Structure 1
């Protein structure tokens, strides 16, 4: 049965700034906990995040932030909240935003999603 309102997944491709890299790892964790988490909790609900380091393989994008929001409105509130923190264009340059819904084609055409399963 297809999902009527699928979650929105956003891949934020970012690059660290010298200001962020000047902080110690502990200061970075504290900055996220003190500046990002409260801003998101105050502005929206129904969002989850994961973070991937890519600086080992790319000079243009050092990290990929994956955010999943329950719906488009939650995603919009998330972006508004992030933009009001120093993580947006101060600690990180936003290189690109890729936003989509998982298996959107399957919902559009009434098909079963295509996927592979590791064995």
Structure 2
């Protein structure tokens, strides 16, 4: 199954106080390597939102078939100075299953004993 994740976040005043050159250097040194390390399992697109909402400044749209890889990506991001030193804070995270209803209907067609493999803990 493919999962879609909308990861909303806000860059803080501390980030905005940096020059654009400093921001680009931090992005290249700390964020890009994390996304590159998971690029074979998690795709990411980035959007600016501050001109359209006051709740968050940006959001990312991630897609994966491996929730573990997504989780590890987020943990790796949290270990970077961009997060740990307060330049960026996460806000709401929305997760969905692409065409999940179809998988559910397929499971139903296999009888009431069908289990969803993506929900197993074993």
CA distance in 2, matches of 1:52, 1:40: 15
Give the number of the structure whose residues are more often helix, by fraction.
2
- After superposition, residues 44-83 of structure 1 pair within 5 angstroms as 45-83=40-78
CA distance in 2, matches of 1:48, 1:106: 23
- Kindly tell me the number of residue pairs found equivalent between the two proteins: 105
State the TM-score, normalizing by the size of structure 1.
Answer: 0.74
CA distance in 2, matches of 1:109, 1:78: 31
Kindly report structure 1 stretches of 4+ aligned residues shifted beyond 3 Å.
39-45
> Does structure 2 conserve the Cα–Cα contact (< 8 Å) formed by 1:40 and 1:81?
no
State the TM-score, normalizing by the size of structure 2.
Answer: 0.73
SS at match of 1:50: strand
Q: Are 1:102 and 2:98 an aligned pair? A: yes
SS at match of 2:82: coil
CA distance in 1, matches of 2:80, 2:47: 20
Q: Shift of the alpha carbon at 1:51?
A: 0.7
Gap runs ≥5 in structure 1: 1-5, 111-119
